[in-house]
Amino acid sequence: MIKKNQTLGEFIIENQKYFEYSTGELAKLLNSIRLAAKVVNHEVNKAGLVDILGTAGATNIQGEAQQKLDVYANEKFIRMLTNREIVCGIASEENDDFITIEGQHKDNKNKYVVLIDPLDGSSNIDVNVSVGTIFSIYRRITPVGTPVEMSDFLQPGNQQIAAGYIVYGTSTMLVYTTGYGVYGFTLNPPIGTYYLSHPKMRFPEKGHIYSINEGNYLQFPQGVKDYIKYCQAEEDDRPYTSRYIGSLVSDMHRNILKGGIYIYPQSSKYKNGKLRLLYECNPMAFIAEQAGGKASDGYRRILDIQPEHLHQRIPFFCGNKEMVERAEAFMRNADAPK
Ligand code: P6P
């Protein structure tokens, strides 16, 4: 049941009963993410004032210069999740390998693992453009009480039990799903409470926004080039509008609210696309499908793809169902033997 202005904490507890197996651990887990997001939000909002702008002088496994705020956000989320002993393992974009959380009692009875992109789109921080955090939660598949293994993290996205994002934009919002719809909560900064502002978020029936970095046009597969030309043609209800922020969370959030498709395809620079399957595409795909949309790699449903390694990249087509299906048709037609 949806109550106007319900707080995130009330909502989690009230909907706990819809969540099988949970013994309140998921509520604690979502609450720890909520708290970490408040702390990161505080830093993001004052990034221009203190020395946390710019690069941290290190690079992550992706070979990308780590921003100071990337490192800060990563440390905050990992510490928050570790100190509360709610999860048995964490994988992060910023860490080469996964982290095993040894419980104080050594026989860690926790049953969830979290995969996280602590600060996505962080290259936008220095230019004051919105960034976000993305998280994905699974039940472990190895025996409870034993150290987590890679197999606990390499589960297909259709096994996620919860996924969400925080968008640090003109307002800070936490959006998540546990498989019963997508709910958006807006932070009221003076009191540090999130209120239910977007119940049952769903893509509009039709979408007219396409989000893609057209600077890479010449490197795109022919099917993507054909789809972009389709979007730009002046007929039917086109041309569509091109909107690309360069921050997956922001582009996806806008497209769910307004209707649109986000595409990061394979290219000569990124043979398997740029986005990571485990902590960007899977959580966003779970949310998109729960909001009535669709997510694929241009051919296969993202949530059915069996991951092979932690930082695996994958082409990503995600948005309104009819827009994704049309883009997939262009991909198939371009591949068909002439
Ligand atoms: P490009 C940010 O680094 C990110 O992972 C997504 O948030 C964003 O949509 C994309 O990469 C931007 O990549 O190559 O267009 O700058």
Domains along the sequence of the chain with CATH: 8-198 (3.30.540.10), 209-335 (3.40.190.80)
Residue 25 — very low, low, confident or very high, per pLDDT cuts 50/70/90? Answer: confident
Atom number of ligand 1 nearest to Cα 121: 2
Q: Residue 123 C-alpha to ligand 1 middle, in angstroms? A: 9
Q: Residue 307 C-alpha to ligand 1 middle, in angstroms? A: 21
Higher pLDDT, 213 or 36: 213
C-alpha distances (whole Å) from 105 to each of 77, 85, 159, 338 are 22, 10, 28, 64
C-alpha distances (whole Å) from 185 to each of 18, 107, 173, 198, 294 are 19, 35, 5, 6, 23
Mean pLDDT of 2-6: 77
Higher pLDDT, 160 or 85: 160
How many angstroms separate the CA atoms of 127 and 232, rounded?
Answer: 29
Helix axis angle, 222-232 to 321-335, nearest 10°: 130
pLDDT tens digits, 165-206: 999 988 999 999 999 999 999 999 888 899 999 999 999 999
Mean pLDDT of 204-210: 96
Pocket test for ligand 1, best of 61, 70, 120, 217 (most atoms within 8 A of CB): 120
DSSP secondary structure code for residue 79 in this structure: H
pLDDT of residue 111: 87
Strand 87-92 to 112-120 pairing: parallel
Lowest mean pLDDT among 25-39, 111-125, 182-196, 323-337: 25-39
Residue 84 — very low, low, confident or very high, per pLDDT cuts 50/70/90? Answer: confident
